[in-house]
Amino acid sequence: MLSPDRETAVLRHQAVTSPPAGPTGDGQLPAAGRDGKDAALVQAMFDRVAPRYDLANAALSFGQDAHWRRVTAGAARPADARVLDVAAGPGNVAVELVRQGATEVVALDLSYHMLAEGLRRGHDRISWVNGDAQALPFPDESFDAVTISFGLRNVPDPQLALREFARVTRPGGRVVVCEFANPTSPVFRTIYRRYLVGALPQLARVVSSSAPAYRYLADSILAWPDRASIAEWLTTAGYREVMVKDLALGIVAVHRGFRA
């Protein structure tokens, strides 16, 4: 795992020439469920998918991923706010937060290559931090909002991460968790699960830079807890007025809460 130390991990706008030394994972996938998930394997997996990450997301979501990002950013109420985007990848949600009026966005990710891709694209109001969601390198109450999109299920201890989110959120600030979910319709749920298990890994062979990672994606979605469990985690972490909005017939659930 790369060091989350802020003095050495903030990339900002300097040139990135090579990643720091770290584990490669040798193509091994992390555990799909919460038990036994290895952060180093998660990091290595996302380093491998970074080159074609956006293309794969657009293709496998049939173009819906851009809409999901807009909804996630809007739920954070980013206008005139300082926002932390966790598991930021190449910064797609971070860019949307800036577009919707955030004064500053800190994009944090465990994967160096993901951040390097975002830094290469450049943006004046985004800082790039290589760090761990479970040990955020920021002072208490330093952000108006914290967002995470399709990343919480990849964290070895998601409840610890949510407590960290609450720690760095000012009182009254927002948290937004966008994550895959089980469709609410039993008929569509059956169709969707067949897509995850059968079609998605085959499509990933064509559009991704690491098709096996998308087998993990499917398995991790199926292993993820239900909406009520996520809402309970947020409440326990210190957020109130937790609500959920379903997107795409329940394929995606967007939770929002306010820091007590």
Q: Is the pLDDT of residue 24 over 60?
A: no
Lowest mean pLDDT, pick from 56-60, 212-216, 246-250? 56-60
Q: What is the pLDDT of residue 9?
A: 44
Kindly give, in sequence order, each residue whose CB lies less than 8 Å from that of residue 105, ignoring residues fewer than 6 positions away.
78, 82, 83, 84, 85, 94, 97, 98, 125, 126, 127
Per-residue pLDDT band at 16 (split at 50, 70, 90): very low
Beta bridge partners of 258: 174, 240
- The position carrying tokens 């802020």 is 6
Q: Is the pLDDT of residue 34 over 70?
A: no
What CA–CA distance (Å, rounded) separates 3 from 254?
30
**What mean pLDDT is predicted for residues 181-204?**
84
Q: Give the mean pLDDT of the chain.
A: 84
Going from N- to C-terminal start, the domains of the chain cover 6-11+31-259
What architecture is domain 6-11+31-259? Answer: 3-Layer(aba) Sandwich (3.40)
**What mean pLDDT is predicted for residues 98-110?**
97
Q: Is the pLDDT of residue 236 over 50?
A: yes
Kindly give, in sequence order, each residue whose CB lies less than 8 Å from that of residue 167, ignoring residues fewer than 6 positions away.
136, 140, 141
Q: Is the pLDDT of residue 174 over 90?
A: yes
Q: What is the pLDDT of residue 27?
A: 65
DSSP 8-state class, residue 246: E
Q: What is the pLDDT of residue 209?
A: 59
Q: Is the pLDDT of residue 226 over 70?
A: yes
**Rounded to two decimals, what is the model's pTM?**
0.84
